[in-house]
Structure 1
Amino acid sequence: MKKYRPVFLLSLILSTSGISAQEMTLPLWPNGIPNSKESDEKEVSETGDINWIRNVQDPDIAVFLPTMQSATGQAVVICPGGGYGGLAYDWEGTDIAKWLNSKGIAGIVLKYRLPNSESVEVSYKAPLQDVQRAMRLVRANAEKWNVHQNSVGIMGFSAGGHLASTLGTHFDHEDVFKKDAIDSLSARPDFMALVYPVITMNSEFTHQGSRNSLLGENPSKELVKEFSNELQVQNNMPPTFIIHATDDDAVPVENALLFYKALKDQNIKAEMHIYPEGGHGFSLGLGKGYLETWPDRLHDWLKKMNESQGEPSKN
């Protein structure tokens, strides 16, 4: 009987099982999750039109890598939305990572802890801790994944857009947990892409469900201000790309407008596209007329970001 060499055997197993050798999942906190406590809560994954994940217990990143031949050196950490009560994991996560791969960009889907989880001690701290760690984990593996350490960005949808913008405004937020070597790396994103994002916690324009999940029903004025990210913009923030629809009846377009103005006031390079129609939660916009070309605008912008870092564009 013919003996297969280990590498060939691994490739055969992956190809026949439908699993790409370019995909892997890594835990964020292999040595203990900070800001957590024991509970009987179980993680739930509901599969229907959208793969909806609730009660995240073990936060991780799913890594989708393009072929080395097409890799641009860029990577994007993706934060799915879900009102901080769940994650639209494929619709605003893995689907986006695969699209990025088609452009030669590594897509890193973050499964972050949700603030209303019984396993979280301080609600509003957990998502930020997880996204900071995800950025550092990508940079720690940059050489292995054919990624440039200075070309790692963040992308978020809806409440995931709030988390992404929180990283952009709070990336240097002090860590209060036991650190390891990875935590010495920078968590600052090199660029941000925000898609129909929740930005403000001000009751006039916020998404109330996201605010309640993150801060509770009666948060202090200080907490509302801290997580109203249009009020936290500083001049050391990364360039930002924003997409929103005027007729969004879940997250008012004022969220995007307020953040863009704050970026402009601090001389942060920003590009914003406001579509007259599209509603909320349109993901890649497939089947929504010319709205489905918005990813092309993002791709153009990402190429420009890469060129500004001194890296030639391959796509």
Structure 2
Amino acid sequence: MTAPRLPRRALLALGAGAVVAPAVGRAQTASAVSAPFEVRPLWPGAAPGGEAVTVQEQVVLRNPNGDPNDTAFVHVRDPWIMLRRPAQPNGAAILMIPGGGYQRVAVSKAGGPIDARLAEMGYTVFIMDYRLPGDGWAAGPAVALQDAQRAIRIVRSRVAELGFDPSRVAVAGFSAGGHVAGLLATRFAQDAYAPVDAIDRLSARPDFAGLMFPVVTLTQPYAHGPSARALVGSDPTEAARDAWSIERHVPADMPPTFIAAAADDRVVPVENSLMLWQALRAQNRPGELHVFEQGGHGLAQTDASGAPAWMGLFDAFLKRDRSPRS
């Protein structure tokens, strides 16, 4: 079946906050949408470390006059994880982490064309919302990592129920969500929060990582400004920049990593992707880098079917035989 052509707006929906939305003060509150998918909270009670948090969560329209399902979550207090089941499962699961420049999370409980296409390809798709570092959480810059670790453990807790392979659980992050996914792929051995239930005994290591037009480095001159300010402030030390730069902390057991970006990205410089690729090479870790000549932030290049060009490449990467050669 030929997939519908995805509009550029749909591709940018997963991108950085500098592109995707008007200021919150000008945004309209989004109307309620009927979610056709299963949505569950990430945490069994209140999210950890919220004693000093006073902000009120909002759901806003990314375009005041646009699609009522084209939403962003601001000042997230109750993060969630959503499941889209494939009609014909291929045995693998993907945890999607959308972007938003660490200012908001560009996601909809009505789903979107990216997760729809991945499910059509057979993937059991989970989409997560996550908390933001500027809202007063005790974990500070690590708050989104807490949610990502909890989310992938929830994915793993549903292996028997949903029937996917526990060794084929990938994370796919977009823009600032790529930074969250990068944290998950590099810091899975560091528990970002104290266990709250039996789910937290499961591994937080993704089997594969896909980073699309990702925020990677907080070092100058290639840092994405809004993400860097949200994570380490407006006048950070070099040590703080280094601490939250993904390419500086690639472990010897980092999962196989797929990276895709456009050379003409004016929001997150493509050097972010190049720096991570070089770090993977330095650690002799398996990885694949695709730099498209055009596509901008959102990587709007499409294939003959109208699907994002990176998607078929990522699918092939996830399915590659990596068994030892005799």
TM bucket (normalised to shorter chain) is 0.7 to 0.9
Q: Which residue of 1 aligns with 2:146?
A: 129
Mapped to 1, the partners of 2:316 and 2:254 lie a distance apart of 21
User: Is the counterpart of residue 37 in structure 1 residue 51 in structure 2?
Assistant: yes
- The aligned amino acid for 1:130 is D
Cα deviation for residue 298 of structure 1 reads 1.6
Aligned equivalents of 2:251 and 2:284: distance in 1? 9
Confirm whether residue 203 of structure 1 aligns to residue 240 of structure 2.
Answer: no
> Residue 201 of structure 2 aligns with which residue?
184
What are the Cα deviations for residues 276-299 of structure 1, in whole angstroms up to 9, with x where unaligned?
A: 1111124x6459999942222122
Query: Mind listing any 5+ residue stretches in structure 2 that lack a counterpart?
Result: 1-32
Residue 267 of structure 2 is aligned to residue 267 of structure 1: no
- Per-residue deviation at 1:224? 1.6
- Unaligned regions of 5+ residues in structure 1, if any? 1-16, 311-315
- Aligned residue for 1:25? 39
Cα distance, 1:162 vs. partner? Answer: 0.6
Kindly provide the CA deviation profile for residues 232-264 of structure 1, in whole angstroms up to 9, marking residues without a partner as x: 012200001111011111111100001001111
Select the residue among 57, 74, 85 that pairs with 2:103.
85
* Segment drifting more, 212-221 vs 191-200: 212-221
Partners in 1 of 2:95 and 2:131 — Cα distance? 15
Q: Is the 8 A contact 2:217 2:246 kept in 1?
A: yes
Check the 8 A contact 1:96/1:107 in 2, yes or no. Answer: no
Structure 2 CA distance for aligned equivalents of residues 40 and 201 of structure 1? 28
Deviation at 1:302, TM superposition (A): 2.2
The alpha-carbon deviation at position 34 of structure 1 amounts to 1.1
Higher relative contact order structure (alpha carbons within 8 Å, sequence separation ≥ 6): 2
SS of 2:151 mapped into structure 1: helix
Q: Structure 1 98/309 Cα, relative in aligned 2: closer, same or farther at 3 Å?
A: farther
1:111-142 deviation digits (Å, cap 9, x = unpaired): 00011124x22320210000000010110111
What is the aligned partner in structure 2 of residue 53 from structure 1?
73
Alignment-mate amino acid for residue 212 of structure 1:
R
- Does the 8 A contact of 2:246 with 2:276 survive in 1? yes
CA deviation vs aligned residue, 1:204-245 (integer Å, no higher than 9, x gap): 111011010112223333332121111101220000111101
Q: Does the 8 Å CA contact 1:123/1:215 hold for their aligned counterparts?
A: no
- Name the counterpart of 1:141: 158
Query: Counterpart of 1:247?
Result: 264
Q: CA deviation at 1:148?
A: 1.6
In 1: Cα distance, 2:38 partner to 2:305 partner:
34
- 1:3 matched to which residue of 2? none
Aligned to 1:298: 314
Contact 2:182 2:216 (8 Å CA) reproduced? yes
Counting matched residue pairs gives 285
Letter of the 1:86 partner, please give it: R
| Identity percentage of aligned residues | 35
In 2, the alpha carbon distance for the partners of 1:32 and 1:269 equals 38
Alpha-carbon distance between aligned partners in 2 of 1:146 and 1:287, rounded to the nearest angstrom: 30
In 2, distance between residues paired with 1:252 and 1:289?
A: 28
Q: Using a 3 Å threshold, how does the CA distance of structure 1 residues 140 and 221 change in structure 2: closer, same or farther?
A: same
